[in-house]
Structure 1
C-alpha cells in the first residue's frame, strides 16, 4: 500500500481531522481514510475506480438512463464509520464543517466542486484543497479567495494544502447552473448533447470522436457498447442513426453517467448505463464496441487503461463482433490490437487521429 503524494502530505496534518464533520471529495487513493477509520466521515467519489476500491464489494453498477434523468443517482456504501457515495454531485446544505477537495485537472471542474462544497457547509465552514504543484495547486488559491480568506497550510511531496474560511452562507448546489446543452452536427445528423464541467471534451465535439462518427463502419447489429462514453456523444448518435440498436454506455465517471442520461433524455432515447473501472466486473456480452478511449490518468499519459480494455474487449465480444476505436496517431495501438484480434484495419486517418476496426 503506497499513499498518493497528496495523501502523504495530508498524513503530516492528522491533527487537522481531529474535530468537525468532514466530507472528502474525490480522494486520490482508497487507503488514506483507513487512518481515520475511528472517525465518522462522508466521502463523495465522482470516479468509480477509487469508489469500488474503497468499498471493496462493488465491481460495477448498472443503471437505466431514464431513472437517472428523472431522479438523479447516488450509490451509497457504508464501510465501518465511513459512508461512501458514488455520485456526480451532492445537493445537501449546511451539513459539514469541513470539506477536503482533491484538486481535479480541469479548472472549470474545480470551480464547480468549490461551489458544491460551499453549499454543503455550515456557517463559518472550511474548504481544504490538496493537489500536486504541477497539477495547478499554486493557482487554485486565486479561485478560492472569493469564498473567503485563503492560506497555504502545508507543502511537501511536490504538493500543497490550502484552506479557505468561508464567508457568509451559500445555497445548496444546483447542477442546472453548470449544465449546458449544445447541438452537434455530423454529416446529415444533428442532435443535442448535455455537458457539465469534468466530463471529457466538455462543451465541444472532440475531433477524434467526430472522425469516428464520420467514418465508422455502419453495419452494426444487436447490442453495442459505447466504452468511455463521456457525455454520451457516440451512443446517442448511434441510436439516432440506427434505431434498431441496443446500447450500453460505460464510464468510470459519475459525471459522465449523469450527463449521458441527460443527453439520452434530450434525444428521447433510453439505454443501459454502466459505472465501472474499465471493463472490470462487466460480464455483458455485446456485438460491437465503439470507443474513443482515454489515455490519461490525471495529468500523465497512461496506456494501462486502454491495454487492459483491449484485453477485456475480446472477452466481451461475440465471435462475430468488432471493435472500432479512434486514438491519437502517436499511440502504439495497432500492435496492441494485433495481439488480441486477427484482423486490424486502419479505416481512416487525419494528421492527429487514426480510426481502427478490428475483428476476429
Structure 2
C-alpha cells in the first residue's frame, strides 16, 4: 500500500465501503484495501493492471460511494475536477494522497480555505490528508461540461488539453493529400490528426487508437464520421483487423515524469506490425528522442521529411517482416 495511506490508517483514518479509489497507478500497492473497492483509472494499461488483480476497475464512474481516495495527477485542473467528482459521489471521507512534485502542498492550502482538514501526514516527499465530502464547497472546481479549444472538445488532464499540439500541427502539414484507404491514428488523443485525415475522401476507414478513455470520449465528439472506429486500447499491443495502408502518430514518450523512449519505440514496432507490405508510417517526435535506429530496424526506407529545432517528422515505408 502507499506508505502515506498506511500511516494515515494507523493514525486513525477509517475507511468504509463502498469505497472508490481514483487515479491509482501500478506504483500504488492497494493490497490492503478490499477487492470490492472500485478503482477508477482511464489509462488502459493501468486499468488492466488493477482488473487483473481482481479489483472492480472502471475507466470512469459516477456511482455513489461512502469514502473516496484520490491519488493526485500532475495536472492542477484535473486534480481539482477529481476533488469535485469525489465530493459529488461520496458521503463520507475524501482522502487525498500526492507527491510534492504533483502540487499536493498547494492543493492542501486551497482545500483548507474551504473545509476542515484532518492530517496532514508527510512521508516520502509527499502528503496525505482527508476531509468530509462537501459538494457545495468545491462546486467551482467542476470540470466544464464542454471544454472547447480551437473548435475541438478537450478535457482537463488529457494531452494538449489547452490547444493544438505544435508537433501534431507540424505532422498535419507534412501529410500527403492521399494516405490510402485503410488508416490508423495510434495515440489519437482527442482527435486532431484524425479529423485532418478524414478530410481525405479516399480514406475508407480510420481507426482511432487511444489508451486514455477521457481523451477518446473527446475524440468521439470531435470526429463525427461513419468511417471512424474508436478503440480504447494500448497502441503498442493493438492489432488492426486487417493490414493497413497508412499509420499516423505523435507517440507519447512518458507515462510519468521520466521520459521513456521505449514507449515511442513500441509505437513504431506496432506500426510496422499493423501495416501492409507497402504501407507507410507518418510520425512526429521531439528532436532529442532516439527513434532513428528502431525506425531503420522496422522499415526498409526512412526519411526525415519535415522538422524544426523542436520536432522531426518521419516518413517510413515498407515495413520489414
Query: In the alignment, is residue 10 of structure 1 matched against residue 1 of structure 2?
Result: no
Deviation of 1:157 (Å): 2.1
Q: Which moved more, 1:200-209 or 1:299-308?
A: 299-308
Deviation of 1:250 (Å): 1.0
Aligned position for 1:297: 255
Q: Deviations over 1:118-164 (max 9, x none)?
A: 11122xx3221112222222212134335522344322222221223
Q: Quick one: distance in 2 between partners of 1:165 and 1:336?
A: 51
The answer to whether the 8 A contact 2:186-2:210 is kept is: yes
The answer to whether the 8 A contact 1:144-1:164 is kept is: no
1:19 to 8, 11, 16: 16
Deviation of 1:279 (Å): 2.5
The answer to whether the 8 A contact 1:278-1:305 is kept is: no
The answer to whether the 8 A contact 1:152-1:162 is kept is: yes
2:77 to 94, 108, 111: 108
Aligned position for 2:316: 358
Q: Which moved more, 1:108-117 or 1:158-167?
A: 158-167
The one of the two structures with greater contact order (alpha-carbon pairs below 8 A, sep at least 6) is 1
Deviation of 1:256 (Å): 0.9
1:22-37 aligned at under 5 Å gives the runs 22-29=19-26, 32-37=29-34
Q: Quick one: distance in 1 between partners of 2:240 and 2:289?
A: 28
Residues 286 and 254 of structure 1: CA distance in aligned 2, closer, same or farther (over 3 Å): same
Aligned position for 1:308: 266
The answer to whether the 8 A contact 1:264-1:270 is kept is: no
What secondary structure does 1:322 align onto?
strand
Residues 225 and 283 of structure 1: CA distance in aligned 2, closer, same or farther (over 3 Å): closer
The answer to whether the 8 A contact 1:30-1:53 is kept is: no
Structure 1 spans left out of the alignment, 5+ residues = 58-78, 184-191
Q: Quick one: distance in 1 between partners of 2:113 and 2:81?
A: 14
1:54 to 50, 54, 62: 50
Residues 149 and 136 of structure 1: CA distance in aligned 2, closer, same or farther (over 3 Å): same
What secondary structure does 1:255 align onto?
helix
Q: Deviations over 1:242-273 (max 9, x none)?
A: 463311111111111100001113xx555211
The answer to whether the 8 A contact 1:226-1:249 is kept is: yes
Q: Quick one: distance in 2 between partners of 1:171 and 1:141?
A: 13
The TM-score with structure 2 as length reference comes to 0.88
Q: Deviations over 1:45-68 (max 9, x none)?
A: 1111111122239xxxxxxxxxxx
Q: Which moved more, 1:273-282 or 1:331-340?
A: 273-282
Q: Quick one: distance in 2 between partners of 1:254 and 1:145?
A: 31
The TM-score with structure 1 as length reference comes to 0.79
Aligned position for 2:103: 136
Q: Deviations over 1:274-332 (max 9, x none)?
A: 11223325343322110111112222212121122212221111111111111111111
The answer to whether the 8 A contact 2:73-2:79 is kept is: yes
Q: Quick one: distance in 2 between partners of 1:35 and 1:326?
A: 43
The answer to whether the 8 A contact 1:320-1:359 is kept is: yes
Residues 168 and 35 of structure 1: CA distance in aligned 2, closer, same or farther (over 3 Å): closer
Residues 108 and 288 of structure 1: CA distance in aligned 2, closer, same or farther (over 3 Å): same
Residues 153 and 142 of structure 1: CA distance in aligned 2, closer, same or farther (over 3 Å): closer
Q: Quick one: distance in 2 between partners of 1:168 and 1:253?
A: 26
Query: In the alignment, is residue 335 of structure 1 matched against residue 315 of structure 2?
Result: no
What secondary structure does 1:96 align onto?
coil
Deviation of 1:176 (Å): 7.7
Residues 119 and 320 of structure 1: CA distance in aligned 2, closer, same or farther (over 3 Å): same
2:154 to 173, 195, 208: 195
Q: Quick one: distance in 2 between partners of 1:17 and 1:316?
A: 49
Q: Counting strand residues as a fraction of each chain, which structure ranks higher? A: 1
The answer to whether the 8 A contact 1:291-1:325 is kept is: yes
